[in-house]
Structure 1
Amino acid sequence: MKRSRSINSPIRILILDDGSIIKKDEEASIPDRIFSFTTCKNREEALKILAEKEFDAIISEIKTPSYDGLTLLKKIRAENIKIPVIFFTENKNPEILAEAINSGASGYYIKRSPHQEITEEILEKVIESAGKTRYTESNISLISAVLDAVPGGIIASDTITKKFVFANEAICRTLGYSRDEILRLSLADIHPAWDMERVSGLFMDMTSGKADFAREVPVQRKDGTIFYADIRGSEIELNGRKTAIALFSDVTERTEAEKALDRKKEELDTSEEKIIQQLHQLSDAQEMFRESEGQFKHVIENIPISLSIVTLEGDVVYANPKAHELFGLNPDGSNYRGGAPVVWKEPSGRKLWLDGIRKNGVISGLQADFTTFSGEEKTLLLSGMKINYKNQPCVLSVHQDITDRILAEKALKETTDAFRTYIDNSYDAVLIHDTEGRIVDVNKKMLAMYGVTYEEALNHTIRDYSAPNKNMDDVRKIWRDVMAGNNRIFFWQARRPHDGSLFNVEVFLTRIELDNRTFVLANVRDITERKKAEKALYLANRKLKLLSSVTRHDILNQIMVFFGNLEFAIEDCTDENITEYLRKMKKAVMSIQHQIEFTKEYDDLGSKAPVWFSPGSLTFKDTNGIIPVKNEILDVEIFADPMIDLAFNNLYDNAVRHAEGATGIRITGRPDNEDYIIIFEDDGCGILDEMKEKIFERNVGKNTGLGLFLIREILSITGITIRENGNLKEGARFEMRLPKGVWRMRGDSHS
């Protein structure tokens, strides 16, 4: 029920009475300048009267044979009627009295006897809350008019319950709630749960006076989206209750300065009519200002907003503490006279301001530069209206300091221009996403790669750019990984939205920070041609492998024939000299046969993609207990050619053949800065210094001369190096160095 009466008019009381509360002669004895009574006998009659008339309070018995006052209370509260309800009752049951208070009763008074009649003294105490309610509403009406004229978001809450008691238009728009909805909320409803512990601490600091400013506090809108705000707040006393009042400044606007300015201009254009209406309401409230000037001044001087009243000639007649702080005004008012024109940096700006005030009575959203009395350069956003203050025409002004935002916008534009130059000249397609996965920017390469316009690119989603058979759960897992701070590289099948054509891409995702906001940058490289080349190389390798296999088979067949004939020739030859030559030929043929069979094992070298391999799972062929192996690498994986297992086996075979006196082999590993070192060592005779590098050359060694040479080749495919650095007579020591990116701890897929 809305009230609009003067606080000096009689207090209107609806009495639900069956004759036990007030008598006719008693009603006549109470002055009508103070009270105006309407009586009814049951709940239905009361509801009908409430629908037709306005009242300041209701007095009722809790329950009589004729009616149930408690049921009436619950009914009017359910219909959001906020009239104070006071029970004048002989019921002393504490449970019933508690139920009345919990149901929304303003209070109760116990009759001394069943026939006690209400007196003027009791009546004045009973309806005291009604008078307070009206007085409060007049104050809040005035304060609301002032705060609704402020472009920044303002919200006030009870310091004990943390429930909101006021919200201006700006904070309603920002959060997406109506004012009535916000007044049903509390502090925990507009901040994400994961930050409530910190937010509660900030609230306590501000209400206790320990702090008045908090940076980048996460705020949650009605639709669940998050934005970050700088909050300036303090504690005031409103109607005898401690109240926290806070000004919210949305700092997410800094990220896109030019768009933010355009949006601001649009908001100012669309809301100008509302601002004018609100400022007129403020003018109408001047009469009420005098009635509650003490409380109004207390609120104005404690809100975190700069506000001043200046004559048209430029004399400051009032400035609240925030205005003193902003402009460098002296507390004693010594620089009030003629102070306004002095701080304007451009006289033409002040002329434009005054012309707008004189012509329209109000002006809002004017940006101007100032030089304060302390010499600081500031840029302010101004709103004002013409008022009559102390019998002279003045301008009531609200000032918002946007200096930091302007500087941030300038710096951001410079950074953005440089960043734009970089991404537009990138070889790869670049897509920038916000934390929700929405595409907010792309470069020219992306438009060409996917065949879309810039506007289309921003309207599409990741799914639109992916092949239909791709599982988007994989993308979500990768996304969470990147948001946790891990860079990810992966292969993906992409799709062009217009024609549906598919192509292969390599994607690099990383998290970046731009002007205190988090984004995800995607570098996308078209690897279609590379895939074709890999496929062609794979087919060529298969053909070469087939040719090699056939050739090797034919050569081995011919060697077997040659070897058999040599055997016959040695048996039949009677000349010892010729027989010795034949034996040497046999040995050479056996060596050729062994080398050809040895190369068969390395037929697949480099023909397959590298894989992750765990040295802890190594098995060694034909050990037969010759030299025991102690493998201490259990928690590391390496990225290498699939033949890496054969490489380790050849190291073992090399020790068996050449490590004279060896009793054991040990495999260990350790990180070395960003690299990882694997040590394969024995306790045999060791290797001469002059042979440490030569043993890796082709055709060096007592067997085929290819073993260590091919081991180095296998490792080098993924950038792994190997060297021998043991000491003679202490054993051979092979050190393999794995660079960053080709090793990881087991189970860590992010490395």
Structure 2
Amino acid sequence: MDFVPYLSIFPDLLLVFILIAGIMYRTSEKQKRYAIIIGSIGCLTLFSGSIIRWNTDLLYTGLSAHIIGELLIFCAILLLITSKQASEPDKNLGMKISELERQVLEKSEALDMTNILLKNELEVRTSFEADLQESEEKFRTITENTPLGMILVNKDNSIAYINPQVTRSLGFILDDIPDMQTVIRVFLPDPSDQEDAFHMWQDLAWKIDRQIQEPEPHVYQISAKDGSQRTFELYFAPYGKVMLILLHDITIRKKAQDELRESERRYREMIEKIPLIVVILDRDGKVVFGNNHLLKVIGCDKDEILGADWFSSFTPPEEHVRDTFVQYIQEEKVPPQLENSIVSKDNQKHSVLWTNLVLQETDGRTTGIISLGTDITERIQREKAIQLANKKLNILSSISRHDIANTLTEIFLTLELAQDTIEDTASQELIRETLDGLRIIRHQIEFSRYYQDIGVHAPEWFELDTIITLVVREMALPDITITIETGKVMVYSDPLIQKVFFNLIDNTIRHGKQVTVISFTLMYEGSDLIIVYRDDGAGISSDEKEKIFEKGFGKHTGMGLFLIRDILAITGLSIRECGTPGTGARFEIRVPKGAWRAGVEMGG
């Protein structure tokens, strides 16, 4: 706007310029950023003093639009020019300027405070805008990288936003699913599923206005764009005027859960069908589970056993099974196998062999015991019957052996007397041969006494060093050096194991000729233990290494080594001869894994 023509009309206008310029200089020194000059309301200036707001009551309406953005000093001139007295020089111009200066100066302190407030407001606004931008960036980062799909639905059912995870997991973009009707139709191709989903959405839609959270997720099998099926949990939450739908892909978890349920079903079916007793007890001995076979044995329904005290309800008090259970629970260690009785509903006892396993939480805390039981009642009855029959047979055999031994003694005495009285050489030879035959009969009778005891008694654990030392001590062999290097190793064998080592030494003495050394040592092959017996005698020829274990083989009765093989076989042990003929015999007894164990120390 050009103000030069007005200067010729108003000569005093130059003074106005100077005065207002001085006022603005002083004001700008105090107000570096803003200055406000308002009559009743005032006007707000920028850094340069340009007007951005003016009280239009001071101006004619037609001029107010022209002064916005002009310098304050020019507007002060316009104030004079556009006054009603603009056609005549204002005689009171000096007074008006002084009054204007006074008003400006009076308001300088208020302007200082206004500047501070405006500055603070500007700083707050700047900080708010920065925080808002940072928040938007965080929101964008979260929504674009979250593993959850996010869909924002407007109140009119149009889709406002989907995040990238929806596209990544299902292949759809916003143009593919512009509204909820399309979402339901595309996500759920099955018409029945669509109908259910539409009803569900109608029930949820009214919650947007009421800001009601849907607490439980809805699980749906959703079709992806490529036709594949994935399982999602859908969470619905009102968010302002939109509904936020979160899609949690649980396909892998659902598959694992289904496989786990199927596995549980198969195992439960197997447990219910196997002919074994299965029972699970908690730490207090209460029944947590019992299978159908248990119910059949004890004659109860499932409702009768679940939660019942196992020991007071189903075990005989005289066996004190509860005490054993409490001890094992406290020690958190149960023997692999136990045998005890259980009592059925009709008060019948059943002997059960239990295989046990301690149940523990992930933190190692014991929660109970699971036991698999085999009803061995009939087996025990058969064993008792066999034991009784064996006992009777042994008694009969003992009586028979005793009678035969007495008869043999009488025959021996008679023949020996006859041998002393008969002088005929031929008769003497016949008597001698008869006596030899009788000695063989006596030896066989002695063998039968040992053989009938094989397998009669239950196998036990024997320490090799101890058992061999006892045998050697009983045989009293002063001319033979015997070394025993078996340490504290133990073997599981029939109690007649002593006869094994006795017959090995006896065989050496009978057939080894000039024997001076016998040794017992150990060696290992894989998980098997090898007991090695060696002597420095004549040895055994290659063609007789297997024959020596046959019944009746040899120069005498051949019962010794035959007896050894049968005794060892009871617990799975075996024997062979593998020495070199002419350098001595070497017998190896193989003890399989499970039939031997190391003691405190090992022999070399």
Shorter chain as denominator, the TM-score bin is 0.5 to 0.7
Tell whether 2:282 aligns with 1:470.
no
Name the residue aligned to 1:451: 299
Tell whether 2:597 aligns with 1:744.
yes
CA distance in 1, matches of 2:195, 2:408: 104
Match of 1:581, SS state, is helix
Pairwise CA RMSD: 4.2
Identity, % of aligned positions: 31
Which one of 439, 442, 451 corresponds to residue 590 of structure 1? 439
CA distance in 2, matches of 1:371, 1:671: 64
- State the 1:362 CA deviation: 5.6
CA distance in 1, matches of 2:541, 2:308: 66
CA distance in 1, matches of 2:310, 2:141: 51
- State the 1:566 CA deviation: 1.2
The answer to whether the Cα contact below 8 Å between 1:344 and 1:350 also exists between their aligned partners in 2 is no
CA distance in 1, matches of 2:359, 2:398: 52
- The residue type equivalent to 2:509 in the other structure is V
- The residue type equivalent to 2:266 in the other structure is A
- State the 1:664 CA deviation: 2.3
Tell whether 2:235 aligns with 1:396.
no
Name the residue aligned to 1:406: 254
Cα distance change of structure 1 residues 644 and 300 upon mapping to structure 2, 3 Å threshold: same
Tell whether 2:315 aligns with 1:430.
no
CA distance in 2, matches of 1:721, 1:548: 29
- The residue type equivalent to 2:573 in the other structure is I
Q: Deviations over 1:505-526 (max 9, x none)?
A: 112346899xxx9997633111
Q: Higher relative CO (CA 8 A, sep ≥ 6), structure 1 or 2?
A: 2
- State the 1:692 CA deviation: 1.4
Name the residue aligned to 1:355: 202
The answer to whether the Cα contact below 8 Å between 1:312 and 1:354 also exists between their aligned partners in 2 is no
- The residue type equivalent to 1:716 in the other structure is A
Cα distance change of structure 1 residues 507 and 550 upon mapping to structure 2, 3 Å threshold: same
CA distance in 1, matches of 2:282, 2:140: 43
Name the residue aligned to 1:719: 572
- State the 1:592 CA deviation: 2.1
- State the 1:634 CA deviation: 2.5
Name the residue aligned to 2:392: 543
Instruction: Give the alignment of 1:327-342 within 5 angstroms.
Output: 337-338=178-179, 340-341=183-184
Name the residue aligned to 1:344: 187
The worse-fitting range, judged by mean Cα deviation, of 563-572 and 297-306 is 297-306
Cα distance change of structure 1 residues 321 and 559 upon mapping to structure 2, 3 Å threshold: same
Tell whether 2:509 aligns with 1:656.
yes
- The residue type equivalent to 1:530 in the other structure is R
CA distance in 1, matches of 2:172, 2:280: 46
The answer to whether the Cα contact below 8 Å between 1:431 and 1:439 also exists between their aligned partners in 2 is yes
Q: Deviations over 1:652-692 (max 9, x none)?
A: 22222222333322323344344433222223222112211
CA distance in 2, matches of 1:726, 1:465: 59
- State the 1:398 CA deviation: 4.2
Tell whether 2:382 aligns with 1:533.
yes
- State the 1:460 CA deviation: 3.7
Which one of 208, 220, 226 corresponds to residue 368 of structure 1? 220
Q: Deviations over 1:157-204 (max 9, x none)?
A: xxxxxxxxxxxxxxxxxxxxxxxxxxxxxxxxxxxxxxxxxxxxxxxx
The answer to whether the Cα contact below 8 Å between 1:487 and 1:511 also exists between their aligned partners in 2 is no
Match of 1:459, SS state, is coil
CA distance in 1, matches of 2:559, 2:148: 82
- The residue type equivalent to 1:576 in the other structure is T
Match of 2:389, SS state, is helix
- State the 1:409 CA deviation: 3.1
The answer to whether the Cα contact below 8 Å between 1:315 and 1:338 also exists between their aligned partners in 2 is yes
CA distance in 1, matches of 2:293, 2:299: 10
Name the one with the larger strand percent.
1
- The residue type equivalent to 2:420 in the other structure is E
The answer to whether the Cα contact below 8 Å between 2:518 and 2:533 also exists between their aligned partners in 1 is yes
CA distance in 2, matches of 1:630, 1:319: 88
Tell whether 2:157 aligns with 1:309.
no
- The residue type equivalent to 2:231 in the other structure is T
- State the 1:357 CA deviation: 0.7
- State the 1:704 CA deviation: 3.1
Instruction: Give the alignment of 1:371-386 within 5 angstroms.
Output: 371-372=223-224, 377-385=229-237
- State the 1:582 CA deviation: 1.4
Q: Deviations over 1:381-400 (max 9, x none)?
A: 33324x363xx4x3233444
CA distance in 2, matches of 1:432, 1:399: 40
Q: Deviations over 1:62-120 (max 9, x none)?
A: xxxxxxxxxxxxxxxxxxxxxxxxxxxxxxxxxxxxxxxxxxxxxxxxxxxxxxxxxxx
- State the 1:307 CA deviation: 5.5
Instruction: Give the alignment of 1:578-727 within 5 angstroms.
Output: 578-618=427-467, 619-620=470-471, 621-727=474-580
CA distance in 2, matches of 1:524, 1:585: 60
CA distance in 1, matches of 2:567, 2:475: 21
CA distance in 1, matches of 2:455, 2:235: 73
The worse-fitting range, judged by mean Cα deviation, of 343-352 and 639-648 is 343-352
- The residue type equivalent to 1:666 in the other structure is S
Question: Which ranges in structure 2 are unaligned for 5 or more consecutive residues?
Answer: 1-131
Tell whether 2:414 aligns with 1:553.
no
CA distance in 2, matches of 1:540, 1:550: 15
Match of 2:475, SS state, is coil
CA distance in 2, matches of 1:503, 1:622: 48
Name the residue aligned to 1:728: 581
Match of 1:494, SS state, is strand
- The residue type equivalent to 2:564 in the other structure is I
CA distance in 2, matches of 1:451, 1:380: 47
Cα distance change of structure 1 residues 319 and 459 upon mapping to structure 2, 3 Å threshold: farther
Instruction: Give the alignment of 1:42-81 within 5 angstroms.
Output: none
The answer to whether the Cα contact below 8 Å between 2:329 and 2:368 also exists between their aligned partners in 1 is no
The answer to whether the Cα contact below 8 Å between 1:356 and 1:362 also exists between their aligned partners in 2 is no
Q: Deviations over 1:479-520 (max 9, x none)?
A: 799x88x99233222333x4554321112346899xxx9997
Match of 1:412, SS state, is helix
The answer to whether the Cα contact below 8 Å between 2:218 and 2:234 also exists between their aligned partners in 1 is yes
CA distance in 1, matches of 2:340, 2:142: 60
CA distance in 1, matches of 2:430, 2:521: 49
CA distance in 1, matches of 2:409, 2:518: 38
In our comparison, the structure showing a higher alpha carbon Rg is 2
Question: Which ranges in structure 1 are unaligned for 5 or more consecutive residues?
Answer: 1-289
- State the 1:746 CA deviation: 3.5
Tell whether 2:341 aligns with 1:493.
yes
CA distance in 1, matches of 2:273, 2:514: 63
- State the 1:304 CA deviation: 8.0
CA distance in 2, matches of 1:379, 1:659: 83
Name the one with the larger helix percent.
2
CA distance in 2, matches of 1:303, 1:436: 47
Cα distance change of structure 1 residues 553 and 454 upon mapping to structure 2, 3 Å threshold: same
The answer to whether the Cα contact below 8 Å between 1:300 and 1:320 also exists between their aligned partners in 2 is no
